[in-house]
């Protein structure tokens, strides 16, 4: 007798019930056992399909929920606003130093300003101008790094994200 796909993968007691039912079709008890095996097979298939439906339903729910998350432009997230405020304070201090001393300082340490918040700062003085970069990790759910550049021509700064 050739085994069906179900019989290859079903537990041994179900294979035995189905084989018994197939060999003795005249006996009502054997027919019931065969029906039980078919019902068990149907229940296993239903459970498998239910599991995949649950998985796909949860995946769809996650996509909808994450799609509803608020995403900000580079520099507009809460941490970015803090960094831009710190950048504005540094720009004001740089301009005060230029007015007082006639040039921009060679380093940020000479300004005497408290830190740059939760960002990494890179400053470079050029003849009569400067470049100030503040880099930070944005607020969740965004990832990557954002760099805000401040110059004499653009003291408000422009931020660009590296996602």
Q: 64 or 157, which is more confident?
A: 157
* pLDDT tens-digit map of 21-51: 444 455 444 445 556 777 777 777 766 666 6
Predicted pLDDT of residue 65:
56
* Mean per-residue pLDDT, 84-89: 90
Give whichever of 116-120, 136-140, 146-150 has the largest mean pLDDT: 146-150
Strands 145-151 and 120-126: unpaired
Question: Within 13 Å, how many C-alpha atoms sit on residue 102's CB side?
Answer: 0
Residues 55, 61, 65: CA angle, nearest 5 degrees = 145
Residues 6+ apart with CB under 8 A from 134: 83, 84, 86, 87, 90, 116, 119, 120, 121, 147, 148, 150, 157
Closest CA to 94 of 122, 130, 126: 130
Q: Which of 49-53, 61-65, 86-90, 97-101 has the lowest mean pLDDT?
A: 61-65
pLDDT score for 46? 65
Question: What is the model's pTM?
Answer: 0.55
Please list the helix, strand and coil fractions of the chain in percent, rounded to the nearest 5, in that order. 50, 15, 30
């Amino acid at each position: 007798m050739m085994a069906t796909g179900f019989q290859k993968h079903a537990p041994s007691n179900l294979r035995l019930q189905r084989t018994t039912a197939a060999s003795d079709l005249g006996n009502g008890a054997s027919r019931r056992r065969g029906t039980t095996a078919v019902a068990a097979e149907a229940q296993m298939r239903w459970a498998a399909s239910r599991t995949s439906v649950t998985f796909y339903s949860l995946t769809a729910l996650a996509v909808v929920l994450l799609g509803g998350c608020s995403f900000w432009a580079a520099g507009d997230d809460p941490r970015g606003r803090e960094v831009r405020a710190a950048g504005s304070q540094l720009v004001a201090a740089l301009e005060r130093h230029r007015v007082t001393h006639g040039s921009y300082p060679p380093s940020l340490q000479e300004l005497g300003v408290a830190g740059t918040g939760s960002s990494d700062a890179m400053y470079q003085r050029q003849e009569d101008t400067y470049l100030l970069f503040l880099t930070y990790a944005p607020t969740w759910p965004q990832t990557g790094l954002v760099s805000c550049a401040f110059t004499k021509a653009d003291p408000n700064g422009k931020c660009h994200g590296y996602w």
